[in-house]
Every structure is written in structure tokens, then in C-alpha cells.
Structure 1
Amino acid sequence: MYYNCLVNIPKNTGKISRNKRGKTTYIEYTYAREYLPEKKYNVARRTTIGKADPDHPGMMFPNPNFEKFFPDIEIPAEGTAAEPVNESRSSCIRIGAFSVVRRIIEDYKLAEHLKRWDDRGKGLLLDLAAYSVIAESNVAQHFPDYAYNHPLMTPQNKIYSDSTISRFIREIDDNDRVDFLNSWNATHDKNEKIYVSYDSTNKNCKAGDIEMAEYGHPKNDVGAPIINYSIAYDMTNEKPLLYESYPGSIVDVSQLKYMLEKIRGYGYKKIGFILDRGYFSKANIQFMDSCDYDFVMMVKGRASFVHGLIMEHMGEFESKRACSIKAYRTYGMTVKAKLYADDDTDRYFHIYYKAKKQASERARLEADLDRMEAEMDKIKGREYKLPKRYEHYFKLTYHKDKFYGYEEREDVIERELQLCGYFAIVTSEKMTASEALNLYKSRDISEKLFGSDKT
């Protein structure tokens, strides 16, 4: 990227050189010399600091490297915004990753689903999508750097400034998103049996007063307001179906119903959902039943409604080779049972045991207990109300609001130690333990997507 202003070419004999490529002369600066023993001579290490202006001899358009090596030379005010010269392009265009992204855009006919925009708007939006994938960044001010040495989908490969991009993004509203998702989902076969991985995540917000940013219940609470967003991903055809954002105070378990209604509104009929334990509730199960949707859902091995099943079948499958799921070094079996007391449908409980998981969970539980005991020893004799989690593992003694002592609930701790290494998946559709685990593990795609987005 070159600044849209002129400076004098430094007169630094021995360190400034000119490199003419085509009709452009690049000004290079020798910042080091390296001696090569095997060659027995020095090799110059150079970098480009600008390009000569043919209309003004002795002048050049500087780039950020010029500021680095000549910090004492002031760049004219009109160049401090680092606006790229639109007609300026790198002499070497990086086309590899871009070609892949463009082929995906063409195969899925994404431009046809952007009905509101003209060619400029479609091109810029798709360029921003390609930029976020290739550069693994969504910082608008860095887009001109990317555009300088990559092909673009805007007419005439025009490079737009970060201020133009910011204005363009602000103009995108909820109606545009809804229109795109409606158009995108209208092309899918509604009668095909598919499994959809649905998951959500949150982002901390430090941008000030934003209406959607509210205090909620994130896994890692740093005391900041958050926004939530979720993605439904078609695992059968390996492509996303929809995304949605919602305020930070809304919990995952209540948001699922709105997403299911949206899916039903698109007309999908033969569909199953792959969900993590955060979405488990009786209301959600009943609503999926009413929609005639299948589900694959993880449940905690220590959850009250499933630990009885695990204890009942403990010892029946943990060492049987017929129950081995080799891909995950896990053993599993399937049993039919009701999910809750008044459930009128049999569900399929897939119970699993993993030795490596048992060791790590036992160590974590023991460490938690030691930490809680150390904390309670510190506050003996003081006015202090311990969280409910402590009451689960210990009998706590208080007198006039002062904490005086504790005693382990041995039966609770021993039961949880026994359950370490076990977990369960519930499915509405009949399948083997191996098939259920493979389906659930496939949702790793959305986890990786969230991880990539956050980093």
C-alpha cells in the first residue's frame, strides 16, 4: 500500500537503490548486509520503501516501510490516513486461496442470493467474505492491504477504503439478512433427511452502548456485556443453513424454540438436530416432538435422570470388544428408556465409557474438592455464605450467619467418582452407540468455526 502523497527520495549513498519493473521504478532500502561464509561475500537485505513518481523526478510515493526506516522525515498531512492509490496494484497478485473461495461462491451461486445490491455492493460484500476467510481477519482498516495484492470481485477490481467499508456495513439491516437467508434456504430440498448441528456462542463487547450487548451467562465471564449468535449447519450436505444473533441475556435453552420455529417456517420436514447439553430441557424435547423432528443430544453422565441408567448397566460393556468404538477409543452400549416420568415415547440412551476421560475427570473432581476445603478452612468463624455447589459435596455448619465447619457427603462424592469417565447421548431415532457418537462428534465443525472467529 502506497500513501497518496509525495516525499523526496532519500539521498543515502550505498543504501538507496532503484529497481525498475515494467513501467514502475521501486525505491529500495538496504537495511542489512549478511556475510555468507560458503560464498565468501556479503548479500544485501533490501525492502521496498516507495515507488518513484515519473512526473516529479527525485520524488516518490512512500509506503509504511518508509516510516519505519525514516521516522524523522515527516509525511505530508494528506498522506497520514494511509489511503491507497486506487489504480495502484501490487506487481505480484496472490491468486491461489482466492481462486478456491471464488469457486465456492460460484458453485453456491451466492451472488444470486444478494438480490438487493448492485454489482458494486455484491462485489464488495463477497470481497469482504473472501478477505475474512483468507486473511483470517474482519478488521476493515486492513482490507486495503489485502486488496492491494489479491484479485477482487468489485467492478474493475476497485479498492475501497476502510471508511467506505464501514459505511457500507452500517447500511446492511435485518431485512437484508432475512432476505438472504430466505433466498438461500429456498434452494434446498425440503424432503431430504438431514441432520443439523446447532450451536451458539457469545462475544464480549467493549464497543460502548450497543443495544444487543447485555450481561448474561457466558462460560468465561470477564464482567463485560455480551452478544450471542448461533449457527445451524447441515451435516448431511456440509453447508450452513442459517445464523442468528440475539441479546446476551437470553440463555441457549430458551433460544432453541425460536430457531426450531424458524426452521419449520422454511419448510424443512425430515430433519434431526445435533445439540449439546446446554439445550436440554423438557420443553425443548416436547417442542421437537410436536414438530416431528429427531434429535441427538449430549447429557451429563452425572445428571440425575441418566446416572441411574449408567449405574444399572455399569460393568456390562466397558471391556467388551463388541462394544468398542475404535475411532474414539471409547466403549458404548444402547438401552431404551423414558426421558422423563410422563414421557410417552421410548428414547435411545447411548451410554459410553472412556478410560482416559475417567482419569482426567477424577483428577479434576479431587482438585475441586481440595480447593473447596482450602477455601472453607480460610473462612471458618467468619460471616460468609458459601455457594450452593459447596452444599452439594459438604454438610455445612452455620451459627448466627457465621460459618463454623463442614463434613464431606461421602455418598455423593463416591457416586460421582464412580461416574467419572461415563457420558451419555440421547437420540429419538433408533441407531447404534457408534452411529450416535459419530453424529455428535460431527458438530465439531461449528465449534472450530466459533474458535476461528474468536481468534
Structure 2
Amino acid sequence: MAYLNQLATLPDKNITYLKYKDTYYVIYNYAYKRNANGNPQSKKITIGKLVDKKSRLFQPNENYLKVYDKPQFIKEEVDCSKIPLSAVKYTRPEGLLQLVQTIAKELELDVMLRKVFGSDHHYLMSLATYMLCCGNVMKGYERWANKHYLPTSLCMNDKRISDIFSQVITQEKRHQFLDLWSQKASSENFLAYDSTSISTSSSIIEAKLGFNKENDKTKQINLGILYGYDSRLPFNYSWYQGNIVDKSYLKFMLSLTKNLKDKKITFVMDQGYFSSDNLKTIDELGNKFITFLPRNTNLSRQSIDEISELKLGYTDLVPGFKTVKCRTISSELTGMKCNLHVFLDPDKQIELQSDFEEYLQYEEKALQDKIKEKVVTKKTCKYFKIHQEGKTEYSYERDIEKISYEYNRLGYFVLITNNLDLTSGEVLEAYRGKDLIEKAFCDIKTNLDSRRLRTQRSETTNGKIFVMFIALILLSALRNRIRHTEIEYKYSLTNIIEELDDIKLFVTDDEKVLHPLTTDQVKILNELNLDIKV
């Protein structure tokens, strides 16, 4: 039975579904009657297959026209098969381009880029769309632009793209745009800040050997990003030398967000940014902070010592976190009033204690081997006491005090904040919510294919990272659109982008005709609430 080249609305009555493999077939039931046992039965006929139950769409077959004399097609389609091939001038991939235009308009991203860069903003949007689709290897851009039949001015070769990066995207214009864009963050309650390393083989002065977070042994630069909790969008970024430690750079990053001064915004950071000076700077800007208090600080040790001596019970449970418990200690840090939220995660405690026991067993076995080989030093392991008996003879004993001290404090951690109005549950929820910025870094390195820079000059690098940031805004907005929809886990972001980019228009001298959509494309467009305009 042939399927029609149209979609229709599901009938309201006499419809059931039959699943075969991954397809749901729409069954029309008729001629109802009861059999000898009094049970209802009917005749059945397949009238199509389900496309989107939520939107009540299905693709009918010829039986549909036999059953219904007034078919409910969702729109009149042009039969592409009736267009002679000689009349088709070209076929243009359209879906992704229209999605980007829609997102840019909704976020006012296109307005801000046009305000700063004038007519050159078209170059930036086109390059960002290419990154969204193909990654950051710009060598393939010209071919991609020609395939999408972009205006001739946007079909740029490598040399022209390099000029855009280095000459059009100037430092002044970058800062002007970021000032405009980051103003949108003033309505956020929480902002996450974190950084990642990006490898490069270039000789730019900022590329240094440092602590690479992916254990890549090449030179790197560090990229710091400020991310909004409510909008789930990036608002600012800065990149810096690969050998600068994160907490040393935070003050400079904060200086780029002066338009957020005195706003009721809480910065959420991990322990890599903890220092008294950094927290004091945030406080002096009139903002709030939440960060992990490193375990090696006196403040952390003292607070965990105090709480671990108590027996936390039912009344200490943190609402919404099952078994996690907490006590709050009021404290001061460089004159700032702060709350220390000391948490105990019993499930994590069991896991950490088990790992600690394995570690001790491994260290003890290694120590026994060293004693046999007579190559022991007194600093062999901090959890064992070494005794020298003669010149080359050694014995040992477990340092019960140190082992017990460490063992009993596993599973505890401290979050420090100057936002005294937040409950322990709100503090923990905000801190755990910063994993959204980890997803952003994953998007940069995986979906935008930017584990490496592939640039040779600082000026070019500045421009390319700026376009990467624009692409990240678009990608984050796309992720927001699919969040909590039926396609969130059914398709990857890459699959969605590929399906959208495969939606084509046939262009003739007289008209533009949308190529028939696949089932996946229809479902994606419906969930994204996107109509392809012809």
C-alpha cells in the first residue's frame, strides 16, 4: 500500500495503534458487533503510520482516502515528483539556516551583532552557523557556503576568513558586544564561572605548557566562561595564558563584568577559584558567591572536625537530597560574614571509605615489599610509622590516629557563601547546578570540534574564539529548545543538526518547493516549534 506524500491530522474516533518494530501503524476500526460470547469485535484496516502522537500527525496511505471522503491534510503540498528536473535550478539545505535565524531573532543576538559590527555581522553569523554544523576547521567553509547557496560575499576562502577574524573582529568591537550581551545576565539569580584548556600547536605568546585538563601534553590556552542558570546561556568569556592558574585570573574576569555590579547575582565556582582575595572582590562588587571550600584549608578542617564529632540525624536531612545531611556554621573570612554549610553524603562516604581501604591495602603491600628489598625511607607513607632496626632492617605499624582521623571525615564537604539568606538545600542545589557549564565545555570540544585552536596568530585566535562563543550561544539555545521534549534523549544534538541541515528547498525560476520531510524531520520541527518558510 503506497503512502501519500502528505501529512494528515489523526481522526478523533475509531482509531487504535499497532506497533511493529519501531513504527506505530494507525488502524481504523469499523463494522462493530458482538461475537457469540458477547465480546465486542470489529473489522480493521491500516490507514497510515504515526508521525507525532503529541501533535496528532500521521502519514496516510491510500486506504485513508477510501475511508474518509474529507481528508484532514495539514497543508496542501506541492508534488515534487511533478517538477521536471530541468526546471530545478538548485537544491538548497534550509532547515538549519532558518533555525539559526529564528534563535538569533528571539535572543536579539542579530540586533546586537548588527549594532556593533554593522553589515559585517552577516559574516559572523554565517561562520558561527558553519561551526555549529561542521566544527572549527575553517578549511571546509567555502564549500559549505556554496552548498547552501549563500550570497557570494559570504562564500569566503581561507584568506578572507583569516582577515575577518583578525581585522573585522577587533578588540574594541568584541568588548563592545560582550558589554551589550552580558547586560542580559543582570536578571539572572546565579552565574556559574569555570574554565577549560584548549590545546594548540601554534606559537602565539599566550600558548603555554600548563595543567591540561585532558592530559594533553601540548601547549594550551585557558578559556573562562560565565554561564547563566536561569537562561542556560553563556554571557561572557575570556581566554588567557595556559600556565596561569585559574584563581589568579578570576579578578580580571570579574573586572569584565562591571555592568553586573550591585546586582543580586550569586557567582557559583569550584574550589579552583577559592582565595580570600577573590571572594572579597566579589563581595566588594556587591555580589554573592558560593564555592567549595578546599579540604586543605584550616577553615575546612576545623568546620569538618566540629561537625564530624556530632551525630547528624533526621532533623539534619537536606530537603530534596534524600540522605544528604548538613549543619551550618556562621563564620567570618577577611571581615566578611559567611555561612559554612558542612554537608555529609552517607552514600559517598561509603564509597570513599571503601576506596581508602583499598588504597591502604595497596600502600601496606608496597611497604612490605620495600622492607624486604631494604629500600625504605621514613616518608614512604604518611599512614604508617616506620621503625629502623639496625642499618638496613625496618619494621612498621599502622598510624591508627591518622587513619581514623581521615577515615571518619570522608564524605564531608563544605560550601562557603556570603549569601546568608540561602538555606543549605538552596546552596547545594546551586552548586550542583553548575554542571551546566561542564556541558557547555563539552559542546565546545565535541559539538563545535574545538579541542584544538588551529590558528597561528593571536589576532586570528581572538576572532576565532569570538565566533566560537557566538556558536556556543546558538548551540546552548538549541539545547534549551529541546529540553524537556520528546526528542531530548531520542536524538543527539549532532543528529538534530544533521536532520535540520538535510531539509531542502527545490528552487526553480518560478517558485521554491519544500522537499518532502522524513518522519524524524517532522518530529524534530514540531518539538522545536519551527516552521520552514518557503
Deviation at 1:189, TM superposition (A): 7.5
1:270 aligns with 2:268: no
Q: 2: CA distance between counterparts of 1:290 and 1:183?
A: 23
Deviation at 1:407, TM superposition (A): 5.5
1:359 aligns with 2:357: no
1:199 aligns with 2:185: no
The match for 2:124 is 125
Counting only pairs closer than 5 Å after superposition, residues 129-278 of structure 1 correspond to structure 2 as: 129-135=128-134, 137-144=135-142, 146-147=144-145, 150=148, 155=151, 158-171=154-167, 172-185=169-182, 187-188=183-184, 192=187, 194-205=189-200, 207-264=201-258, 267=261, 269-278=263-272
Q: 1: CA distance between counterparts of 2:302 and 2:394?
A: 34
Higher helix share: 2
Q: 2: CA distance between counterparts of 1:398 and 1:254?
A: 44
List alignment gaps of at least 5 residues for structure 2.
1-82, 447-534
Q: 1: CA distance between counterparts of 2:393 and 2:254?
A: 47
Q: CA RMSD for the aligned pairs?
A: 3.7
The answer to whether the Cα contact below 8 Å between 2:232 and 2:436 also exists between their aligned partners in 1 is no
What's the CA shift string for 1:223-250, capped at 9, x where partnerless?
A: 3222111011232443322100010111
* Counterparts in 2 of 1:316 and 1:383: CA distance versus 1, 3 Å: closer
Q: 2: CA distance between counterparts of 1:291 and 1:144?
A: 46
Greater relative contact order (CA < 8 Å, ≥ 6 in sequence): 2
The match for 2:75 is none
Match for 2:330 among 337, 351, 369?
337
Deviation at 1:98, TM superposition (A): 3.8
The match for 2:341 is 350
Q: How many residues align?
A: 359
Match for 1:439 among 430, 439, 444?
430
Counting only pairs closer than 5 Å after superposition, residues 66-145 of structure 1 correspond to structure 2 as: 91=91, 93-95=93-95, 97-114=96-113, 115=115, 117-119=117-119, 121-135=120-134, 137-144=135-142
TM-score (normalizing by structure 2): 0.58
What's the CA shift string for 1:294-325, capped at 9, x where partnerless?
A: 11111245754223323433486755166244
The answer to whether the Cα contact below 8 Å between 2:324 and 2:346 also exists between their aligned partners in 1 is no
Give the secondary structure class of the aligned counterpart of 1:23.
helix
TM-score (normalizing by structure 1): 0.67
One-letter code aligned to 2:139: Q
The answer to whether the Cα contact below 8 Å between 1:92 and 1:149 also exists between their aligned partners in 2 is yes
1:306 aligns with 2:296: no
One-letter code aligned to 2:210: G
One-letter code aligned to 1:282: S
Deviation at 1:213, TM superposition (A): 0.9
Deviation at 1:202, TM superposition (A): 1.0
The answer to whether the Cα contact below 8 Å between 1:334 and 1:348 also exists between their aligned partners in 2 is no
* Counterparts in 2 of 1:398 and 1:105: CA distance versus 1, 3 Å: farther
* Counterparts in 2 of 1:445 and 1:148: CA distance versus 1, 3 Å: farther
Q: 1: CA distance between counterparts of 2:342 and 2:122?
A: 50
What's the CA shift string for 1:385-424, capped at 9, x where partnerless?
A: 99x9x6644556899xx99786644322322222222222
One-letter code aligned to 1:336: I
* Counterparts in 2 of 1:309 and 1:160: CA distance versus 1, 3 Å: same
* More moved, 366-375 vs 225-234: 366-375
* More moved, 316-325 vs 193-202: 316-325
* Counterparts in 2 of 1:266 and 1:422: CA distance versus 1, 3 Å: closer
One-letter code aligned to 1:332: K
Overall identity of the aligned pairs, in %: 25
Give the secondary structure class of the aligned counterpart of 2:290.
strand
One-letter code aligned to 1:360: E
* More moved, 362-371 vs 274-283: 362-371
What's the CA shift string for 1:62-88, capped at 9, x where partnerless?
A: xxxxxxxxxxxxxxxxxxxxxxxxxx9
